[in-house]
Amino acid sequence: MMGKHMGPPWWHGRFRGRGYRITVAREAILDVLNRTSEHLSAEDVYLAVHKVHPNVGLTTIYRTLELLVQLGLVFKFDFGDGRARYELAETPKGTRHHHHLVCTVCGRVIDYTDFIDDEIELLSRTEQALSKKFNFKITNHLIQFYGLCNECHRKQ
């Protein structure tokens, strides 16, 4: 189960601080994202939330996910299958930063955290240099590798 002796969820402050309300739908959506390590689409989130709160509509899912992205609590990805995917940016414990391997045949997505340290270091150097050169305030980055996964490679 969840941790013991918990106060209000960690993200309440982020909402209150900006004047956003804490609602049943928002709690439920964050809860779903918090419980999974998958790359959920808006509909995935909707279905999961719907099991517990059948009265929460898909529109609210979209609106809330968008808000969470704006707040930086959630990352939005495009893996090329025509629907956006969402992942919590941070968990209470702080999930390890990861990047993605996307199979261009079957669409499978593999997370990896290996080699991240080197990447992060280079990225941070690059970010600084880019920020300076283009006067661009970098807040985030996206790194994805594309190719054929084990299965699809074999079948070709």
Partner DNA sequence: GTTTTTAATGAAAATGATTTTCATTTGCTC
Partner DNA sequence: GAGCAAATGAAAATCATTTTCATTAAAAAC
Using CB under 8 A as the binding rule, the residues of this chain from 13 to 52 that contact a copy of itself are none
Residue 103 engages a copy of itself in binding (rule: CB under 8 A): yes
DSSP string, 104-129: TTT--EEEE-TTHHHHHHHHHHHHHH
Bridge partners of 41, per DSSP, are: 85
Question: Residue 145, interface with a copy of itself (CB under 8 A)?
Answer: yes
Give Cα separations from 60 to 10, 45, 65, 69 (angstroms): 21, 11, 8, 14
Residue 78 binds a copy of itself (CB under 8 A): yes
- The site string for a copy of itself over 58-77 (x = CB under 8 A, - otherwise) reads ------------------x-
Is there binding between residue 47 and DNA (CB under 7 A)? no
Tokens 């709690």, residue located: 27
**Residues in region 63-82 near DNA by CB under 7 A:** 63-64, 66, 82
Structure tokens, 80: 């090329």
120 binds a copy of itself (CB under 8 A): no
Q: Does 59 bind DNA (CB under 7 A)?
A: yes
**Please, are residues 30 and 40 in contact by the beta-carbon 8 Å criterion?**
no
